A and B are shown apart, each in its own frame.
Chain A
Amino acid sequence: MRRTKRHQVPLRRAALKWPRRKRLSALSSLCLGAGVALAAPASSQPAADEDAPARVMSLNVCTDQLAMALAAPGQLISVSFLARDPAQSAMHEEAEAYPLNHGRAEEVFLARPDLVVTGTYSLHNTTELLRRMNVRVEEFSFVQTLETIPGEIRRMGALLGREHKARKLAAAFTAELSKIRAGQCARRPTALAYEQNGVALGAGTLADSVIEAAGFTNLAAQQGVQGMAPFSLEMVVEKKPDVIILPGGRNAAPSLGARVPRHPALEALPQTRIGAFVPSGSWSCGSPAVLEAIRALDALRNEIAPCGGSR
């Protein structure tokens, strides 16, 4: 059984990354619509490359991923401080090349960016303040499924004036995703993404769609868990998932919550594979890096329940 150090998706930072419920994202698109109408061409009417913003700041670890993937050299002047955290950011190595910001209104204002990209809920007050100071702010509501990722890539491309690259990236993403999905079969083992304090990632989360895309059934979603919610140890033991995915990444410091997914009761489950199977940071954000998570889980699924194999 493979065991790696766990990765931490802390609740409060998770909130920076994606809203917990879908209705929130619906609400956010309303806000976004208003902001776009005031300050910028909507994504359906992309700006020409020569109108592209020259100085772009990203205040959120998830917009960091998209911006770093798409921006022209020199266009992105800073990324959020979390971008270098391997537990949070799939592109933490790339982020070493960029200055960091802490999302404070003053530092943004002083940096005089042409465009600020951030998450809808992460720094809401800051966003409002920046708008009042006539800084152009684009919010990304953090998608919770794989299906919306290509759209987000294209939208970031449009904002940065890098439509061509974005289209290529989005197409590659879609193609790769379809390829992996094509490998699925009827046998779908169950998997549970079990976070600190016994919180499971249920329906509507990015993790849920990654688990499904890799050919697993998400146990938490199957049991009616919506978003991130507590999932009792007893239920885990009773439902005996084939795979328990622990948070991966570098273990920053001890916490009691981190012990719950490692409870001896789970280790006593004879058939269950437990480990941090997903590369650290790879499914924290709806970015192309999610593919790494899907590939890793797909490989695991092929190992424990190969298609066409017989048991």
Chain B
Amino acid sequence: MRLLVENLDVSLAKRQVLHDVCLTLAAGEVVGLLGPNGAGKSTLMRALAGQVTAHGVMRLGAQDLNALSPVPRARLLAYLPQTRTVGWRLEVRDLVSLGRLPWRRFGVRLTAEDMAIVDRALTLMDADHLADRLATELSGGEQARVLAARAVAQATPLLIADEPASGLDPAHQMLMMRALRRLAGEGRAILVSLHDLALAARWCDRVVMLKEGRVAAEGQPDAVMTAERLAEIYGITAHFARDDGGLILAPTGLTGGEAL
């Protein structure tokens, strides 16, 4: 199933935040959404998740996302918000089970199939061992993966994750990215916004770079993340290298005079 976004405009409080955004995403792909703060990454994700009003084409397979009501949308598209909220001292397995809500009829308990999907989601997110812990008592990295497992348990062809790696230590960041790749390997389409360019360079199949609400560049990390573009969009200099795992990118400093 393929995500197609064309000519997308979004305005928040009468200010236009996204201009004419175009984007495609195929099953099995991990696409990184990059751009400085305020470039419109979160807004684009919210628009796809149906949480802000958007004008333009948003299609997933044959479905027009704009025309879907909440539950059918939740069966096609899982959205992992940037803010990590755990309202009550829920057990991890119960929390992840919430991902099954769109598939359950009112008053029907979780089936064995639901439970199997929940366990699978925990496994995919390397969170098996956390299943019986309280979600509020996990470390930040563990909690991030558990919340992602909830989105995974929704069993949707498309997963949108807003900054799933922010605030995590390097090991947890890599665990998160590896899990997302594994999901793509299962045939899902993953759209993930990232601040960490090194992570994006190494783990994404393609990246889309936003600047001031417009798509500034789109393509494979090698092609998009050039010294010129980083200087233009982020105002930074970087060191580039590569190995078997792909591009290695390390920001080194600010471009002269172009202070942000």
**Direct A–B contact in complex, judged by CB atoms less than 8 Å apart:** no
